[in-house]
Amino acid sequence: MRLVDVQQSVAAELARIGPVIDELGERFAAAGHELALVGGPVRDAMLGRHSNDLDFTTSARPEQTDRILKSWGDAWWDMGRDFGTIGCRKGDWVVEVTTYRSEAYDPASRKPEVKYGDTLAGDLGRRDFTVNAMAVRVPGQDIEDPYGGVLDLANRVLRTPGRPEDSFSDDPLRMMRAARFAAQLGFTVDDAVIAAMRDMADRITIVSAERVRDELVKLVCAPYPRRGLTLLVDTGLADHVLPELVALKLERDEHHRHKDVYEHTLTVLEQAIDLEDRLGGKPDFVSRFAALMHDVGKPKTRKFLDDGTVTFHHHDVVGAKITRKRMQALRFSGDQIDAVCHLVELHLRFHGYGSGEWTDSAVRRYVRDAGDQLARLHVLTRADCTTRNARKADRLRRTYDDLEARIARLSEEEELAAIRPDLDGNQIMEILGIPPGREVGEAYKFLLELRLDNGPMTEEDATAALREWWNTRA
């Protein structure tokens, strides 16, 4: 990226947002305070990216900022007051203003200690990377770049404003942010930053699981997640936040040859991303994280056979359990955990399809078991083919095309997405003359299995089958 391109991009973006930022700057100046646009909005402006979310820093204390924003905005919030941040909405613009500050971690603490600062230069010096340590003073739109962020942006490199060891000591989460920004922006990380990450990796353990989780989600959903994940593994950070990924770097020897599971996993992730148009086209964390975790059961299930082959029997089930434990430790929601683990557990199911030997009953069960994750399972299963054998890859692709076509046909004929028995609970109780209870559930399950085996039945045939099952059972 050329320096002149950066300058042209920021000029165009400042022209777009100028009326809003200058108006707000004039209000702060009239009250005797400094105000500057900072961080992501400045960086993104230089990258030619447009956003209506604007972050500012100010010499005003939170209570003073609160008064100014309430006289200007349409709606206000102060959930970040403890960190010096007050927010508001003005038309289509979302604004957050934070008092000049510095943050430092106590070695035994999981939360930063917030201290207010007095100067813009001091505030910029405590920021994570030079590309985020630029500011635009308002009104007037004077650019402040004390640490060379514009040049680093043009060179696509991540550096810290001061010594990386000091920056990461203040907030160890910044080590994960380095990986996240590498994944989001496609930037190279400075050697000194990488060295500090490697030396201080264990400091990430003092950061709360929730903050680590949020950074990991942003990294995985970024345009280039392989860059960030590789950096986490190479610096040792992954040993603390995602050790299951590190474990995929299985030892290989000259006698037992098998696929490089770590590289295979990163390739599956990238191929799943290429298929996201099937899921709406936007980054889908559940699908991506399932791709990342789908083989984490392999290290625990690996066995070497006498003929030199390697097996990983039941690594799907084991992997789902490992995934659940990791996601729980990172405080993911129950719905996200269930969805990802379900996909991990089902990712091998298609391999029993052969060249199309499944009966319609087996296809119905595939759909039933996938449930609301069927579209994501299609993506994961297709992405899991990483063979370099073009003929084999084409055969697998065509075979899965056939399975999806059969699912579509059966869905049209039988409403597969909502498979239910041909008799409901009330009908079961009436036909068998039984009250609500366990036996109704057993009858319902029998009819569901019958429906999966045979497809739709008439009420008469279903009733006859139910009576026969009941009499045999009795």
150-209 pLDDT per residue, tens: 999 989 999 999 999 999 998 999 999 999 999 999 999 999 999 999 999 999 999 999
6 has a pLDDT exceeding 80 = no
User: For residue 449, which of 415, 422, 411 has the smallest C-alpha distance?
Assistant: 422
In the chain, the amino acid numbered 424 is D
Share of the chain above pLDDT 90, in %: 58
Q: Where are the beta strands (DSSP E) in 358-440?
A: none
In the chain, residues under CATH classification 3.30.460.10 are 1-154
Q: Which CA distances in Å does 271 have to 181, 344, 374?
A: 21, 16, 17
Tens of pLDDT, residues 272-313: 999 999 999 999 999 999 999 999 999 998 888 877 788 888
Average pLDDT rounded to a whole number, residues 432-442: 88
Three-state DSSP at 271 gives: helix
447 has a pLDDT exceeding 90 = no
pLDDT of residue 392: 87
Other C-beta atoms lying within 10 Å of the C-beta of residue 338: 15
In the chain, residues under CATH classification 1.10.3210 are 251-418
**Residue pointed to by tokens 């992501």:** 40
CA Rg value for the chain: 28
Euclidean distance between CA atoms 187 and 179, whole angstroms = 10
Euclidean distance between CA atoms 93 and 20, whole angstroms = 8
Tens of pLDDT, residues 235-282: 999 999 999 999 998 755 444 455 689 999 999 999 999 999 999 999
In the chain, residues under CATH classification 1.10.110.30 are 156-241
The token pair that represents 470 in the structure block: 């009941």
For 156-241, the fitting CATH number among 3.40.640.10, 3.20.20.140, 3.40.30.10, 1.10.110.30 is 1.10.110.30
Euclidean distance between CA atoms 204 and 241, whole angstroms = 8
Three-state DSSP at 106 gives: coil
Strand partners, 310: 304
**Residue pointed to by tokens 């009576």:** 467
Low-confidence winner among 25-29, 241-245, 270-274, 405-409 (lowest mean pLDDT): 405-409
Tens of pLDDT, residues 317-359: 999 999 999 999 999 999 999 999 999 999 998 887 777 778 8
User: For residue 337, which of 348, 349, 326 has the smallest C-alpha distance?
Assistant: 326
pLDDT of residue 254: 43
Other C-beta atoms lying within 10 Å of the C-beta of residue 30: 9
Burial annotation 226-237 (CB, 10 A radius, 16+ → b, else e) = bbbbbbbbebbb
Whether 431 and 467 have beta carbons less than 8 Å apart is answered as yes
**What is the fold of 1-154?**
Beta Polymerase; domain 2 (3.30.460)
7 has a pLDDT exceeding 80 = no
The token pair that represents 457 in the structure block: 């039945």
Average pLDDT rounded to a whole number, residues 2-11: 77
User: For residue 99, which of 133, 58, 67, 38 has the smallest C-alpha distance?
Assistant: 58
Euclidean distance between CA atoms 471 and 462, whole angstroms = 14
How large is the angle between the packed helices 173-185 and 191-200, nearest 10 degrees?
A: 140
Other C-beta atoms lying within 10 Å of the C-beta of residue 390: 8
Indicate the pLDDT class of residue 115, thresholds 50, 70 and 90: confident
Q: The domain 251-418: what is its CATH number?
A: 1.10.3210
Burial of 322 (0-12, 13-18, 19+ CB in 10 A): buried
Q: Which CA distances in Å does 282 have to 36, 77, 407, 421, 474?
A: 32, 29, 25, 36, 54
